Structure 1
Amino acid sequence: MYLDALLPHAQLVRESEAKGFRQACYAMVPETGLEGIFEYTALEGFEINYSNITVARHTAVQLNASKQYVEMHFSLSGRFLSRNEKLIKPLLVKDLQHSLFSVPQNLTSGLEFQSDKRPLVKVDILFNKNYFEHIAHEDCALHTTLLDKLACNDRMPADIGMMDVTPHLLSVLTDIITCKRTGYFGRMFLEARVLELFMLQTEALQEALPGKGCGYLMDFSRDIEKLYFVKELIDKEPETDHSLQKLSRQAGLNVFKLKNGFKSLFGDTVFGYINSLRMEKARKMLLEGAPINTIAYQLGYSSPNNFSTAFKRKYGITPGKFKA
């Protein structure tokens, strides 16, 4: 996203690539109004965009999000103006500020750089959707909100806030910017620092916005109906090969809300509940004299052995002995 936006203003200086790790350094072309460097690092699941640019004259660039991201932004020096359809008004980003927000697919944003003696130095780290879902914590209100925004392809509200960059954050950012490692060790080092940065930023935002954090928690008055809808789907067809992803899409909930909300409301996990329904149905079918093989396949098990294992785990006895 940032690379594509700056390519018309830059020329490639060097690049390297290893398994799961790509780096490229670009020099700004002075004739375009920008001078300095832009470094792009792509790893599995996220990318790091580092800009150290001097703005000679007013310059505007356009960002086009080809897919969904969660972005960690750190402005270290200089200032710029950001505009897009999701912002109520243009956002002035100043030095030593940071923020965390979701970026919807197909969002177009404009960045305006004003002439300034100070260099524009910033770091933008973009997590793709799958990677963010992997590192997000279901008990974190902030992460849950971001997951909600990804689920409906929306942007984090602008008032989530710009916060001051702390010395600790600055220290980790410096490690990332000055990293000289390449290949496997470079990938490991950068991933560790980025995750540390993500942890520190999450803690800072949660501590600074405690009131808003409560509003990000599951609103049962809104979601309870969706959870009952999921339960009804399972009740009708417990033998179906249900998945959390499919159920969450059908109900309009993200996976974390589905998992936590279902257990809070019904006292069991989604798959625990499915298993209980299957076992109760199996017990009744055995009492009615149905063959074990028939029961196994009707209830969605891949083999009678898998069914027998699940039945014994539930009731402490094999189906054969129960039937006898």
Structure 2
Amino acid sequence: MKKELRTQFLTRQHMVSKDFEIYYYSDTTLLKVENHAHNYYEFYFFLEGDVSIQIGSDIYPVQFGDIMLIPPHIYHHSIIHSSKVPYRRFIFWISQEYCNYLAQISPDYVYLMHHVQATHTYLYHNDRVSFNAVQSKALRLIEEMQSDKFGKEAQIPLSVNDLILHLNRMIYERLHPARQHEGLALYQNISQYIEEHLNEDLSLDRLAREFYVSKYHIAHIFKDSIGISVHQYITKKRLDQCREAILGNMSITEIYQLFGFRDYSSFYRAFKKEYGISPKDYRDMNSLILNH
């Protein structure tokens, strides 16, 4: 760990910044911190130390890779069992106001915060690979905050949001493994259906009726699986079939009608946007190549 990224530990237990603060601590001699609570969220990312954290009346021994989230107004403090090894950890503070701001962008940013408050599950164990990804993002954020790079003020909130979303996704996927598998299976089944029915109505309403799920769920599954909407996916598949048909010397009028385009103008626009050339020019260009 880079020594210049380390912060001298202070007993201050309030935020100076408005939205977030992050620190890397490595201590052998610790100042005592009494039982306390914050009005913000506090993440612990544990690296090393013979330490437990008491939250309320419960005591949680911690080890490398553990992540702990303590919500606002929950009393807690560290218990140092031995100072033979350094007590190393990241501390990440996020204000409630900043969480509310992120929630307006997407509720995915605050899934973990709500989950912890609802279940009182504060501690999450991680394998080395998973934790290293978190540690890397935390280090990158600290490096950015301590740098003089161009664009620093723009990059810092991006790095903060990336770390927060990563933590939410990591815990969500761990708690919903069955749903992940079901989502992948549904995506594969719908993809196959689309391939086999490109010349038919493939509206979200039609797909929802065929698969007995809501159209919003289908839209979410596709966005999560491949990063584009169902409509974009269908259009790309139809255009690919149209392109193959053009190479097979089928008439362009037959092609766009066969593969579900309402009229030539919408087909023309979509084809040119996808391939950078009109359907007719594509046919003529490939005719020249084939006849050369």
Q: Normalized against structure 2, the TM-score is what?
A: 0.47
The structure where strand makes up a greater share of residues is 1
**Bigger fraction of residues in helix:** 2
> Highest CA radius of gyration, 1 or 2?
2
TM-score normalised to structure 1 length: 0.43
